[in-house]
Amino acid sequence: MESFGQLIPNIALGLETALSPANLMYCVVGVVAGMLIGVLPGIGALTAISLLFPITIYLDPTAALIMLAGIHYGASYGGHVASILLNLPGTTSAAVITLDGYPMAQKGKAGVALLATTIASFLGGSFSIIGMMILAPLVAGIALDMGPAEYFSLMVLGLVAAATISTGSALKGIGMMLVGVVIGIIGIDPNTATNRFTFGVLHLSDGVSLVVLAMGLFGVAEVICNFGEKPPIAPHSHRVNFRSMLLSREEIRRSIAPISRGSTIGFLCGILPGLGGLIASYMAYAAEKRVSKTPDEFGHGAIEGIVGPEASNNSADQASFIPTMTLGIPGSANMALMLAMLMIHGITPGPTIITNHPDLFWGLIMSFWMGNLVLLLLNIPLIGVWIRILSIPRIYLMPAIIIMVCFGVFSISNDAFPVWMVLVFGLVGYGMRLLDLPASTLLLGFVLGPLLETNLKNALILARGDVFTIFSRPVTGTVLFLAVLLFLWGIWSTIKTGRAVETKSPEFCPPEDQ
Amino acid sequence: MNRSLSSPDSISGWLMIIAGGATSAYAAANYGIGTMRLVGPGAFPLGVGILLAVIGAAVLLVSVKRSIASDHEPHRIEWAGIARVGFSISAFALLIGSFGAIPAVAAVSFISIADRSRKSWARAGAATVLLSVGSILLFQQFLELRFVAIGWPF
């Protein structure tokens, strides 16, 4: 096969890019920032990516992508530390680790649990990286033949899936996605140069800036949300040293199968839009419990219950780059931000990215290895630091995040208008949390909305205005049919049970990290 | 008042109906719809707005149907948080242009942290110093953003 023959030179090119001192530095900055964010409860990867987003505009696109990606998968490494030691998940997808991780810590096996999850994360991530190296060029090859109609239908499917599956209520998810699409319309229409929904405000004709929207919805709203929260009490009992981390032969033997199952589940969840790390980790936990010969041990410190979900989580985090990079269709808000960042730099993510920007694509993949290696090496020694950080009064975080947000949006046009806008979106975001409306699907709709409109218009032009030719094409028809089915299923389950998927905990202010 | 009508879901439903209706009405009134072959600038917002209103109506219907099964108490509104964040961001927006970064950072730190206790004023002072130095290094020196550290407009 042609694509496999290219693999070796591609890997070499990727390594060359990833190992350049600047890119390596941004990779380390990204994964350490991600780890830190993962440890801190209440701040998700999405907030961290939003906060660092304005900085990436000034960087080289490859370095920027490597850094944002590092935050994305670094957060899941950090997330399990707080889960195991404090019974406090730092990220929503690490919540499942508390089920067996915290009981292990209570039995004095915190060190074993930390090392086992770190290794599981690394192996899960590695599995997906290899999968991506093989699969991405194949998907891109198929995607090259797709026209605007196919893109339109795939985007609809992706949006419906993300809104239906990953949020509490399918209807509210879709509603917020549509609100995002409407906000995305604001500004000059590229086809007719009409100012739409600008109401005569000159600042709005460029459209609402993604930075303003993301920082308002995730940065400002999160600060308001966390205002009254008390910092968790740092534990004194779990002293973790290297000796306490040694895994017994029995524990290694018990971990191998769960890690391989978890990696596979995570890879599949990562490719599909809307699933992602959160659902991947819960699915892996359920799978381990089902195949286990001793299901009673789960919940009381079974090592299978932490390594499987952790491998799955990190595997999904890496695999979610496949649809984003090869099709240009992000499956989650995190991925939508990566996509938007590339578009700001004038790079259109899609099947041509592998041929037009091979250094960026393969550099990113190779940086995953570097990042995972750095995480593996740094996670354990830094645990003491993380625990100390957890005991810093939360109150310092507030001005720090506000300053990051204010300067970040100020940098867009060097004036105060975006600062006022970010306040408005912050209040909107807080109101949405009060009403249990998902902000992450709004962001996804905002990023994909303009692409959706352009592809639909182009498809209609190509079909000479005949809607039925678009829908009767085999790929388009099937994909749109699937989207409708998924949508109906979502509505049906909302009506039936009230909640489509009971994955979110009832606590208020869950960090949005999908 | 019927409890189900003031539940978060009902409010969300009404808001979506209003937003969707307003979007489609404004688009239909102000922008051309065009033809199927050459779609005008108003067609897409019109369609999205109608869809949003329909979804909003469905959210409202579901929440009214489930009137008794209200799943949890409405969240408590963090008024103090809203006020502090609101005032500190407003202060930043007003100060950054003419008075410069350090007064803006100081305003954010003191408005967001300080209360009656002495400790909180010390903390706000420490935060001002740290964040001023940090933001000038990162945004002015590293990212070469144009703003003054301290200024006087008069």
The identity of residue A252, as a single letter, is I
**Residue A146, burial from CB neighbour count under 10 angstroms (0-12, 13-18, 19+):** middle
Both tokens of A58, joined, read 């000034």
Q: Do A175 and B16 touch (CB under 8 A)?
A: yes
This prediction has a pTM of: 0.85
Contacting residues of A for B119, CB less than 8 Å apart: none
B15 contact residues in A (CB cutoff 8 A): 435
Which residues of chain B are within 8 Å of residue A506 when distances are taken between CB atoms? 71-72
Q: Which of A194, A457, A464 is closest, CB to CB, to B39?
A: A457
- ipTM for the complex shown: 0.90
Distant-in-sequence, close-in-space partners of A316: CB < 8 Å, separation ≥ 6: A128, A266, A267, A269, A270, A275, A276, A277, A280, A281
Task: Quote the longest CA-to-CA distance of chain B.
Answer: 69
Instruction: Please name the helix (run of DSSP H) or strand (run of DSSP E) that holds residue A407, with its range, or none.
Output: helix A397-413
Q: Which residues of A touch B105 (CB under 8 A)?
A: 399, 403
Chain B residue with minimal CA distance to A220? B85
Please indicate whether, in this complex, the C-beta atoms of B45 and A196 are within 8 angstroms of each other.
Answer: yes
Q: What CA–CA distance (Å, rounded) separates A226 from A211? A: 21
What's the rounded Cα separation, in Å, for the pair A101 and A305? 8
Distances (CA, A) of B128 to A222, A431, B143: 21, 29, 20
B105·A403 Cβ contact <8 A: yes
B81 contacts chain A (CB < 8 A): yes
Q: Which residues of chain B have pLDDT under 50?
A: 1-3, 68-69
**What distance in Å separates the CA atoms of residue A421 and residue B51, rounded to the nearest whole number?**
26
Per-residue pLDDT of chain A (514 residues; tens, 9 = 90+): 455 667 788 888 888 888 889 999 999 999 988 888 888 776 778 888 888 888 888 889 999 999 999 998 888 788 888 788 877 777 777 788 888 888 888 888 888 888 888 889 889 999 999 998 888 888 888 888 888 888 888 888 888 888 887 666 788 889 999 999 999 999 888 777 888 888 888 888 888 888 899 889 988 988 888 776 665 555 544 556 666 777 788 888 888 899 999 999 999 988 887 777 778 888 899 888 888 888 888 888 889 989 999 999 889 988 988 988 888 888 888 888 988 898 888 888 888 888 888 889 899 988 988 888 888 888 777 877 877 777 676 677 788 889 988 988 888 888 889 999 999 999 999 999 888 888 888 998 998 888 889 888 888 888 887 878 777 888 888 888 988 898 888 777 766 665 433 334 334 455 554 4
Tell if the CB–CB gap between B97 and A416 is shorter than 8 Å: yes
Task: Tell me the count of A-B CB pairs closer than 8 A.
Answer: 192
